[in-house]
Amino acid sequence: MSSPTRLILSEAQRRVVQHLRIHGPTARVHLAQTLGINPATLTRITQQLVEDIPTNSETGRGRPTIPVAIAGDGGWSVGATVHPGWLELVAIDFRGEILFEDTLPFTQNDPRVFARTVEARLRTLVAQRSFMRGRFLGLGVAVAGYAIDGDRNRRAVVDWIAPWDNIPLREVLGDVLGMPVWIENDAAAAALAEFYRPEIIRQHRSILVFFLGHGVGGGLIAERDLFSGEFHNAGEVGRLFPGSEPRPSGVDLLETLRRAGADVASLADLHGLLDPYRAVFDTWIARAAKQLTAATHSGVAWLDPGAVVISGALPQSVLDRLAAQVTEHCNRLFSGLRAPTPQIYASRLGSKAVVLGAALAPLHDVLESRR
């Protein structure tokens, strides 16, 4: 596998890439005018970062106006996360588009075994794919757990990955892998993935994301950057819903179905139960939507997001219905306000949002001024 390369962009380069990511392909002359960059300088500083988009359109006299877009081969990164019983990987190019997705059985809970498994699998995949020999930016790892003592690399984790608890994950994983590693909370990673969806990033600067998986988490994008908070725990909405009480989480839904007599082992089994247990789903969705509405109302009051996204590992029809009911409740709560209110979306990424957001972490870091 190619050696990881720390890609550092100048302020002008970041502005160009961000503009193209938000606004899509743009004629080079218009890009230079909009950003106030000399056309010759623009061409020089964007080598390997942008590419011409072929077009058959006629522009009249003179040379045709050829739009440019982000070049996929400007770099690539990988995201990884572990689930109960399996490991998930995804690689993306510099545009943020998926190069490959991969899953494999994994029952170990040792982070070092996780790192060695990821390294071995990546070596195999890279050997099979010639397009992955370009600039490798690093690995993002999404972890189910909140930061301890303000250190984003030390996490209080869920029980089934207990050996990951309160250890310097970036150093432990990086030492085994020999590459830059980004550690992120799973729900915060999902928020990053949701924000990079074209229909979101091209309309909104700030979003609030709820991720409903085994637990319930959240993530915040503020002014196009992932907001982590003073102690790197912004979006820990699970605190609003104690595990000892009914909550809008996947585990809670599983337990609700089991009490109703369903034989269900994991979230992957939910699709087959939608029809036979329709009434159970209806009741659970109605209750979860009210809980998410309360959290949304508070989040909107404090954060003023442009959008709220209901994301997670639940069936698409469940996410759709949750978003619709939260929208209905919020319309009543916001009625009479003259201020703009956020649009509420149901995610189309499903559980893949977590690993995709992990892969986006190295790329997002390159595009931000934070160092």
E strand segments, 130-228 = 136-143, 145-148, 151-157, 181-185, 207-212, 216-222, 225-227
User: 3-class DSSP state for residue 185?
Assistant: strand
List domains and CATH numbers for the chain: 11-70 (1.10.10.10), 75-191+354-367 (3.30.420.40), 198-348 (3.30.420.40)
- Check residue 256 and give its pLDDT: 97
Q: What's the token pair of residue 59?
A: 């522009």
Task: List Cβ neighbours of 258 (8 Å cut-off, separation of 6 or more).
Answer: 264
- Check residue 135 and give its pLDDT: 82
Q: Count how many Cα atoms sit within 13 Å of the Cα of residue 159 in the half-sphere of its side chain.
A: 2
| pLDDT tens string 171-225 | 999 999 988 999 999 999 999 999 999 999 999 999 999 999 988 999 999 999 9
| pLDDT tens string 333-346 | 999 889 999 999 99
| pLDDT tens string 128-138 | 876 555 688 89
Q: Is the pLDDT of residue 99 over 70?
A: yes
Contact 164, 157 (CB under 8 A): yes
R_g (Cα) of the chain, nearest Å: 22
Sheet containing strand 50-52, edge to edge, reads: 26-27, 67-70, 50-52
Give the residue from 22, 28, 16 showing the smallest Cα distance to 53: 28
For residue 3, what is the DSSP state? P
- Check residue 9 and give its pLDDT: 87
- Check residue 371 and give its pLDDT: 41
Q: What percent of the chain is predicted at pLDDT more than 90?
A: 77
